[in-house]
Structure 1
Amino acid sequence: MTAATQGALATQAPEAVLALSPAAQRLEGRVALVTGAGRGAGRAHARLLAARGAAVAIVDIDADVAQATALEIIDAGGKAIAIAADITDRGLAERLVASVAERLGGLDILVHNAGLIYSMTGLEETDDANFDRLLSINIRAPLFLTRAALPHLRKSRAPRVIFINSQWGQVPDGHSYAYMVSKAGQLGLMKTLAKEFVGEGILVNAITPGAILTRMVPDEYIEAEKAAIPLGRLVHPEEIAAAVAFLASDEAAFITGQALPVNGGALVVGI
């Protein structure tokens, strides 16, 4: 590659990134929709995105916790709205996205955070209803929401779709078929979306955390999880939120189709 070619390529990179300016981390003027944002990790994502300057739609099946998180952001000087919704309702996706875009002025960042964990069971004990429910939450709902968001993402100068996946989507533990299969399928969805829309500048990525210190991890599992993680503790919601904010920012303008592990080294030892 000649020096002239290198120079030409360099000028194509965003100047904010080239300068490594703090401005590259900022999200002013952008609108984010975060599912499952009323509590736990989703709440942390919404709070940090708002702190970086984004207007945030807090979507949660529980209206009270959605409203509480939105008010918390507003009280801190940010901009947020709360929307109570069951994202597994196929007919809701277009109405939900349209409402967010109308009330906040568009949509730039879509964070698929909502999720559940059912009992850890083997194949013969897997409950059909639970299996269908997790496929609906982890695969069908993100597909429908992303499809509904496309017209708005295409208008954005920095469109992002971010999946909160799991390390068990990459390395299954041999139990909880519903959870493991749905998370592996979600990674397939992420990569397929990334490949289809990379030519339009829509960046699609996932974060694959280990066990997060939230109410979704039962107390009886915490010590065993800590013992299995090389860094000796569970990941905090705010640490996952930092990865979300990074992927949403101009600093991540050259990243798409990737699964970012935030798991304390768990994959290194094959968990």
Structure 2
Amino acid sequence: MSQTANNPAARAAPKSVLTLSADASRLHGRVALVTGAGRGAGRAHARLLASLGAAVVVLDIDADAANHTAAEIEQAGGRSIAITADITQRALAEQAIARSVELLGGIDILVHNAGLIYSMTGLENTDEANFDRLLQINVHAPMYLTRAALPWLRASRAARVIFISSQWGQVPDGHSYGYMVAKAAQLGLMKTMAKEFVREGILVNAVTPGAILTRMVPDEYIADECANIPLGRLAHPEEIAAAVAFLASDQAAFITGQVIPVNGGALMVGI
């Protein structure tokens, strides 16, 4: 059994990850909006972007979680606001963008992180309502938000749209149809946006994590997950955030339409 499964302390991020924000002014003057930022990987994205100097909109359907993350950023010396919205509803997504711009003056970085997963079922037991909900959160919501944010992305000197997809959008596992299809569709959406907006200087990319140490992976499943990953462990949320921070930075100014796998080698063995 994996040491991670037996040792709760293993859920803490490696020290090398926690020192990634050495250049604390790298994103100074930019505004980042992160969806699903109340907890888990989204929280890590928001905190790291803020530590690099960005003002961060913490957007989440859970008001308490959003407020908690925003408060953490403020307490650490960053600038953040919390917005609560169900971004699968177009009008609410548009209102969230408008409110962000009203309070922070624009949007430079848009991180489509919000996501969920339902039962791990085969085709015959796939629930249509759940299937539709996964498409709404992974495809419809990013489309609504990006479209609403376009005037400000076009005005930005360093516009970035970053999708948090999944390795299972690249290599399906033969079940969890709603999740697999939604994540694959998300990658198609990303590439289409990247091609449309490349001449306008809006860079669009995706990060495809494997299993991450968040509440989406209960402790009882960690050992099995680790057994399928060449590096022998799950990703820490901060390790996914590091890829997001890179894509948001000037160092990634020549990268668009790309899929960046962060999965401990799982994709190379076809998992």
Give the TM-score taking structure 2 as reference length.
0.91
Shift of 1:24: 10
Identity score, percent? 78
CA contact (8 A) 1:25 1:246 kept: no
Shift of 1:222: 1.1
CA contact (8 A) 2:86 2:93 kept: no
Q: Which residue of 2 aligns with 1:204?
A: 204
Separation of aligned partners in 2, 1:237 and 1:27:
20
Shift of 1:101: 0.9
Shift of 1:25: 7.5
State the Cα deviation string for residues 103-131 of structure 1 (Å, max 9, x = none). Answer: 01110000000000101111000000100
Aligned partner of residue 154 in structure 1, secondary structure: helix
Shift of 1:91: 1.2
Q: Which residue of 1 aligns with 2:162?
A: 162
CA contact (8 A) 1:25 1:249 kept: no
Separation of aligned partners in 2, 1:225 and 1:98:
40
Stretches of structure 2 lacking an aligned partner (at least 5 in a row): 1-21
**1:30 correspondence with 2:35:** no
CA RMSD in angstroms comes to: 1.2
State the Cα deviation string for residues 161-191 of structure 1 (Å, max 9, x = none). Answer: 0000000000000010000000000000000
**1:136 correspondence with 2:140:** no
Shift of 1:220: 2.7
Q: Which residue of 1 aligns with 2:230?
A: 230
**1:153 correspondence with 2:126:** no
Q: Which residue of 2 aligns with 1:62?
A: 62
Shift of 1:23: 6.3
Residue type at the aligned position of 2:82: A
Residue type at the aligned position of 2:31: V
State the Cα deviation string for residues 60-89 of structure 1 (Å, max 9, x = none). Answer: 111011001101100100000001111111
Separation of aligned partners in 2, 1:66 and 1:200:
32
Separation of aligned partners in 1, 2:117 and 2:23:
37
Residue type at the aligned position of 2:208: T
Aligned partner of residue 78 in structure 1, secondary structure: coil
Separation of aligned partners in 2, 1:185 and 1:24:
35
Separation of aligned partners in 2, 1:220 and 1:177:
23
Question: Max radius of gyration: which structure?
Answer: 1
**What is the correspondence of 1:185-204 to structure 2 with a 5 Å cutoff?**
185-204=185-204
Residue type at the aligned position of 2:69: T
Residue type at the aligned position of 1:202: I
Shift of 1:92: 1.3
Separation of aligned partners in 2, 1:138 and 1:29:
28
Aligned partner of residue 238 in structure 1, secondary structure: helix
CA contact (8 A) 1:24 1:251 kept: no
State the Cα deviation string for residues 121-178 of structure 1 (Å, max 9, x = none). Answer: 1100000010010000000000111000100100000000000000000000001000
Residue type at the aligned position of 1:44: A
Stretches of structure 1 lacking an aligned partner (at least 5 in a row): 1-21
Shift of 1:93: 1.9
Separation of aligned partners in 2, 1:232 and 1:209:
15
Equivalenced residue count is 250
**1:258 correspondence with 2:225:** no
CA contact (8 A) 2:85 2:93 kept: no
Q: CA 1:109–1:120 in structure 2 vs 1: closer, same or farther (change >3 Å)?
A: same
CA contact (8 A) 2:25 2:53 kept: no
Give the TM-score taking structure 1 as reference length.
0.91
Residue type at the aligned position of 1:58: V
